[in-house]
């Protein structure tokens, strides 16, 4: 691995120019099987307008009218997939796709309805499959749960269609490598401390999918990616927490070296399942409640109170595990100065997350001094950008 700490210090220590990037393809009815998945366009995303150009030191390849630096970053999330690359001007370009799908009966009426609505779909084994954000919206309309290729941070063992769906999404997000064997760092969870499962199969599956697309795949622990994306000004010393849909991933880093990495099997999906259970609704609708603009420091009504209760419980659970791992680890470094805790990931984006995190932090006797607890600059894209740092540094 290249010295991506040095690279990040030089090129990622200021705010980046972040550009939403997505191709728009015409609506089409695509037939595919496991061996031949056809891609469709990922939706364009609105990204905060934080603009500062950075010097490109990685090799640059011109493709048509666009020059890009070699190297890709990929956040393999339970809820969302996010890819990133850097163009010749130093702009970080992102694509995002919700990692979910829903299957619908394949008949002329439904086909025409989806066409009128402008919803893209593919046909899998005689059924129409809608993927990404449209699948989530349809699930909410019909009070159904979306099907998820991933579960609790890893490839789902319960979904027979998981692999072809993921292959199709990766083709959309990454497209073809600019040169054969272009490096793509992809996020993987740390080993969970509260569940009997390991990441070996999951890591191998996505490595194989990326290799099949022509990339040289390299894994990066999710919490470590947050450190590289968000803690450059702290000399990459502190705690990065990726608050994902399937897991919370924690990395304690000293000068870019991970001293402790672990995950817990509770995340945004855990909140959704429990809120859905107590309110008698689908998990997709519970997720919609979270995303409609709730402030968990000031919940209004029974539904928002349920979301607040489970958020607070999840944050307290995470902090308890960080403290216990700190106290039981024999390899923990002695930090000479107070450190920062940075939270990233889609589950951290709800209103009031940082305030509740600080409230729960004050309730425990944390074994080290903390100078600040803050949210990542771009929580949803932080892991992908951290992977991109690694990929660009190794491509230099």
CA distances from 241 to 175, 221, 244, 344 (A): 29, 11, 9, 6
Using CA atoms, how far apart are residues 197 and 265, in angstroms rounded to an integer?
Answer: 10
DSSP tag of 56: -
**Sign of torsion over alpha carbons 381, 383, 387, 392:** positive
pLDDT on residue 165: 85
Q: What fold, for 4-395? A: Nucleotidyltransferase; domain 5 (3.30.420)
pLDDT on residue 29: 31
- Mean pLDDT, consecutive 10-residue stretches, the chain (396 aa), reads 51 44 35 30 38 40 63 93 91 90 83 81 81 81 81 84 86 89 96 88 95 96 96 95 94 93 93 95 87 91 95 96 87 88 96 97 93 96 96 81
Q: What is the CA radius of gyration of the chain?
A: 21
- Determine phi and psi for 35, rounding to 5 degrees: -80, -20
Give the CA angle between residues 308, 311, 312 to the nearest 5°.
85
DSSP tag of 146: P
pLDDT in tens, 161-181: 888 889 888 988 898 999 999
Provide the residue ranges of all domains of the chain, joining segments of one domain with +: 4-395
CA distances from 3 to 10, 224, 264 (A): 11, 14, 29
pLDDT on residue 127: 81
pTM here is 0.81
**What angle separates helix 283-291 from helix 268-279, to the nearest 10 degrees?**
110
pLDDT on residue 144: 80
Residues 130, 102 contacting (CB under 8 angstroms): yes
Q: Where are the alpha helices (DSSP H) in the chain?
A: 4-11, 108-117, 133-141, 162-174, 200-212, 222-230, 268-279, 283-291, 301-328, 353-362, 382-395
Give the CA angle between residues 186, 291, 364 to the nearest 5°.
75
């Amino acid at each position: 691995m290249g010295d991506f700490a040095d690279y990040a210090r030089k090129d990622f220590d200021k705010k980046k120019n972040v550009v939403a990037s997505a191709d728009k393809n015409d609506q089409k009815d695509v037939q595919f099987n496991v061996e031949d998945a056809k891609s469709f366009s990922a939706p364009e995303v609105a990204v905060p307008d934080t603009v500062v150009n950075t010097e490109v030191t990685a090799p640059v390849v011109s493709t048509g009218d666009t020059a890009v630096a070699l190297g890709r970053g990929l956040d393999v999330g339970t809820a969302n997939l996010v890819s990133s690359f850097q163009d010749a001007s130093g702009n970080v370009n992102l694509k995002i796709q919700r990692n979910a799908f829903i299957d619908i009966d394949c008949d002329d009426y439904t086909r025409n309805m989806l066409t009128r609505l402008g919803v893209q779909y593919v046909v899998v084994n005689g059924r129409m499959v809608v993927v990404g954000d449209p699948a989530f919206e349809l699930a909410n309309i019909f009070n159904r749960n979306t099907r998820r290729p991933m579960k609790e941070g890893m490839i789902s063992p319960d979904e027979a269609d998981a692999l072809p769906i993921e292959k199709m999404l990766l083709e959309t997000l990454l497209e073809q490598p600019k040169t054969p064997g272009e490096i793509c760092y992809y996020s993987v969870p740390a080993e969970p401390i509260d569940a009997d499962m390991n990441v070996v199969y999951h890591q191998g599956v996505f490595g194989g999918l990326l290799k099949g697309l022509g990339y040289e795949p390299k894994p990066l622990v999710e919490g470590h990616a947050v450190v590289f994306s968000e803690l450059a000004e702290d000399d990459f010393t502190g705690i990065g927490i990726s608050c994902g849909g399937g897991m919370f991933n924690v990395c304690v880093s000293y000068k870019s070296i991970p001293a402790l990495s672990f995950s817990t099997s509770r995340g945004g999906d855990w909140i959704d399942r429990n809120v859905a259970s107590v309110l008698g609704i689908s998990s997709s609708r519970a997720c919609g409640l979270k995303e409609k603009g709730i402030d968990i420091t000031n919940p209004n009504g029974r539904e928002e109170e349920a979301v607040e209760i489970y958020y607070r419980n999840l944050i307290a659970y995470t902090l308890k595990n960080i403290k216990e791992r700190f106290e039981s680890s024999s390899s923990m470094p002695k930090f000479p100065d107070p450190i920062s805790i940075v939270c990233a990931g889609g589950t951290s984006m709800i209103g009031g997350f940082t305030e509740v995190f600080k409230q729960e932090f004050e309730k425990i006797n944390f074994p080290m001094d903390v100078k600040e607890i803050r949210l990542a600059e771009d929580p949803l894209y932080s892991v992908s950008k951290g992977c991109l740092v690694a990929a660009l540094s190794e491509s230099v």
